[in-house]
């Protein structure tokens, strides 16, 4: 399975997000994510701005939906986004509501396993409800307090038990992003600690290295 590369635009202004997104697009990054901080600060206007500037790139709304699944799926679709994330720890009804509204707007639902006591079981449950992708997510605060954890830990287990694509997110290094692709992940998300930081030549070089490595590891030309 080929693996896509997504950049998490966890920034505070739309101008900054569009700038970093352009660096990423020029480096070959496949998907653009309107990160939670960006959406909190700028709302859906930031998503519309990304859609206007990058008409062909898939855009992910990092809502981290816990309730109101249908409402947020509608917001995403109306703004031109392609994906939203719903927490797998949410009630089944929230996942179902997100799926119903997402189908109306051409949006796909990613079930994010962060917060789940048993993330593998949560992924199986979310797949049974009908979500399109699993987000295998090591959260920021969790990894900050537990420096030895890696987002790719347990990835092999979830890949064995679900048939839908699995995305890996959570402080991935260049090496771990490439390893995730080699293991069979369908998507890797690049954010902190690589973004933000140098938002010009340094970032561009890092993203090009990741894109080339992920494509090679997943057999993608």
pLDDT at 165 over 60: yes
Q: Are 46 and 68 in contact (CB under 8 A)?
A: no
| Residues recorded for the chain | 221
Beta bridge partners, 61, equal: 34, 84
Taking only the tens place, the pLDDT of each residue in 19-78 is: 999 999 999 999 999 999 999 999 999 999 999 999 999 999 999 999 999 999 999 999
Question: Alpha-carbon distance 65 to 48, whole Å?
Answer: 19
| Residue of 137, 10, 133, 156 lying closest to 82 (CA atoms) | 133
Alpha helices in 43-173 (DSSP H): 44-53, 69-79, 92-105, 119-129, 140-145, 155-161
The pLDDT-based confidence of 1 (bands split at 50, 70, 90) is low
Beta bridge partners, 190, equal: 7
Sequence-separated (6 or more) residues with CB below 8 Å from residue 21: 7, 9, 32, 50, 53, 54, 57
Residue 193 burial (10 A CB sphere; 0-12, 13-18, 19+): exposed
Taking only the tens place, the pLDDT of each residue in 178-215 is: 999 999 999 999 987 677 566 778 899 999 999 999 99
**CB atoms inside a 10 Å sphere around CB 173:** 15
* Beta pairing, strands 4-9 & 31-34: parallel
Mean pLDDT of 156-182: 97
Q: What is the mean pLDDT of the chain?
A: 95
Taking only the tens place, the pLDDT of each residue in 100-135 is: 999 999 999 999 999 999 999 999 999 999 999 999
Taking only the tens place, the pLDDT of each residue in 62-85 is: 999 999 999 999 999 999 999 999
Question: Alpha-carbon distance 202 to 82, whole Å?
Answer: 29
| Residue of 47, 51, 45, 48 lying closest to 61 (CA atoms) | 47
E strand map for 147-211:
166-169, 187-190
| Full set of structural domains in the chain with CATH | 4-217 (3.20.20.70)
Which pair of structure tokens corresponds to residue 102? 């997402």
Question: Alpha-carbon distance 142 to 75, whole Å?
Answer: 29
Residue 22: C-alpha distances to residues 16, 49, 121, 203 (Å): 10, 12, 37, 11
């Amino acid at each position: 399975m080929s693996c896509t590369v997504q950049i998490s635009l966890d920034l505070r202004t739309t101008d900054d997000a569009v700038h970093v997104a352009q660096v990423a697009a020029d480096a070959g990054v496949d998907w653009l994510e309107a990160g939670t901080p960006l959406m909190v600060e700028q709302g859906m206007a930031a998503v519309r701005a990304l859609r206007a500037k990058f008409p062909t790139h898939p855009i992910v709304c990092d809502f981290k939906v816990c309730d109101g699944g249908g409402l947020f799926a509608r917001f995403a679709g109306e703004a031109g986004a392609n994906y939203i994330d719903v927490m797998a720890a949410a009630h089944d009804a929230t996942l179902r509501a997100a799926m119903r509204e997402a189908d109306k707007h051409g949006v796909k639902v990613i079930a994010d396993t962060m917060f789940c006591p048993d993330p593998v079981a949560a992924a199986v449950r979310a797949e049974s409800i009908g979500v399109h992708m699993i987000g295998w997510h090591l959260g920021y605060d969790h990894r900050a307090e537990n420096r030895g954890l890696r987002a790719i830990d347990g990835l092999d287990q979830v890949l064995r038990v679900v048939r839908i694509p699995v995305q890996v997110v959570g402080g991935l290094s260049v090496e771990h992003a490439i390893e995730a692709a080699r293991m069979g992940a369908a998507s890797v998300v690049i954010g902190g600690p690589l973004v933000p930081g140098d938002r010009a030549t340094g970032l561009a070089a890092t993203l090009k290295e990741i894109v080339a490595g992920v494509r090679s590891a997943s057999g993608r030309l």
